[in-house]
Structure 1
Amino acid sequence: MQALPDFSAFGGVPAHAIRAHGVRAHAIRAITIDLDDTLWPIWPTIERAERVLLEWLHVHAPATAQSLQTAEAVRAVRNEIGSLRPDLAHDLNGLRRESIRLALTRAGDDHTLAEAAFDTFFAERQRVELFEDALPALEFLSSRWPVVALSNGTADVHVVGLGRFFHASVSAHRVGFAKPDARIFALAAEAAGVPADSVLHIGDDAMLDVKGAMDAGMHAAWLNRAGVDWPHEGVTPHATVASLAQLCQGLAQG
């Protein structure tokens, strides 16, 4: 078993912050972890990918590029596809691809360019910039437990370059339902090979990650980097931490 990575640069956390509601490292047999806004900030990634897509469209489908110059225009097409294709509600890749196809068709460009345009967007979407504490946290967690990626997004941990840390990956667009649906948490526990009550789920979203995991019978750690108030009455996260580094320090002390 590897030693705890040096988290000193990220600040400490008292052990009771992790233990306050009953999480003990010895009771945990697997970790599930969210990706977007947990391991990396998602909106800078999406904004960059959309810029790259627009540059591609300027070359290959200029009329479509002209129609998608503003964020409002992009969002309007996306919302329209969401209404027209409820079957894609949990498939962000499908929504993006069909939004591009609709924009191409409306602008009079070749709609068959949608696949190549989406591939351009998707490749850039996989270029993420990790939070500073993400890599040492993954090293710590994966040296002690099987770690399963559990995401509503479309990042591929192998393409991103983090596949070595993960035992498995469960994504909403592949299984057909999304967090906070208890079924996706159950699939993640199954992928880890342990009961749900032996899993600690880590994520940034109070509803999708934390309440969803607890409703599914898991332990849950709320990664609250912004220091906002917990929004749900009647239920409290098993742990609330300001960083992944703090979470790992607390688990090491547990």
Structure 2
Amino acid sequence: MTVNKEYEELLAELGIFPPAAMLTQLHCEIQEELGSLTLFDDVLPTLSALLHTGIRLAICSNLAKPYGAVIDELLPQHVDLIRCLSYEVEAIKPEREIYDWIVRESGIPADQTLFIGDTRLADYEGPLKYGFRALHLVRHQPPRGGTIASLAEILD
């Protein structure tokens, strides 16, 4: 998830040359998964509301290269998002380098940045460790210390 290459190229660099049928199957399975990805209902209204207040937004995700294009399709093109995708910045959460990248690119100090995500270690504990404010998004459970159940809760 830290290499900006298609999987065929990456496999070849690693000296792995699977049969063509296996590559075709892998490609089909990846395309099927990519086609099934959607946003939760609270994402676009929340992003829109935040943008109208002038808050800078970023997306920070541990992804392999094929998923980046889906992010571009799902999020409105007119939204000015700082895009921190692990394969593009060559670091993954919870490594310090990816959080430093966010601070450097946004120009906003960590202690003035709210990090929200659904993975406890990468999106909550990691950011807290490096000085960010953070909330852990745990859908379908009542919120408790440091968690929210819906992205829309940050608007309250």
TM-score greater than 0.5 by the shorter chain = yes
Contact 1:148-1:170 at 8 Å conserved across structures = yes
State the structure with bigger RCO (CA 8 A, min sep 6), 1 or 2. Answer: 1
Q: Distance in 1 between matches of 2:8 and 2:51?
A: 32
Query: 1:90: which partner in 2?
Result: 2
- The amino acid across from 1:155 in the alignment is G
* Root mean square deviation of aligned Cα: 3.6
- The amino acid across from 1:137 in the alignment is T
Q: Count how many residue pairs are aligned between Structure 1 and Structure 2.
A: 149
Query: 1:242: which partner in 2?
Result: 149
- SS of the residue aligned with 2:128? helix
2:45 to 136, 148, 151: 136
Q: Distance in 2 between matches of 1:143 and 1:119?
A: 39
Query: 1:166: which partner in 2?
Result: 80
Q: Distance in 1 between matches of 2:141 and 2:8?
A: 32
**Gaps (5+ residues) in structure 1?**
1-88, 231-235, 250-254
**Cα-to-partner distance string for 1:121-161 (whole Å, 9 max, x where unaligned):** 46972663211111101111222201011111233433334
TM-score after normalising by structure 1: 0.48
- SS of the residue aligned with 2:58? strand
**Matches of residues 1-254 of structure 1 in structure 2 within 5 Å?**
90-91=2-3, 94-95=6-7, 98=10, 105-107=17-19, 109=20, 118=27, 121=30, 125=34, 128-144=37-53, 145-153=55-63, 154-156=67-69, 157-227=71-141, 237=146, 240-249=147-156
TM-score after normalising by structure 2: 0.74
**Higher Cα Rg: structure 1 or 2?**
1
- TM-superposed deviation, 1:98: 4.2
Q: Distance in 2 between matches of 1:92 and 1:167?
A: 20
**Gaps (5+ residues) in structure 2?**
none
Q: Distance in 2 between matches of 1:141 and 1:90?
A: 29
Query: Quick one: percent identity of the two aligned structures?
Result: 23
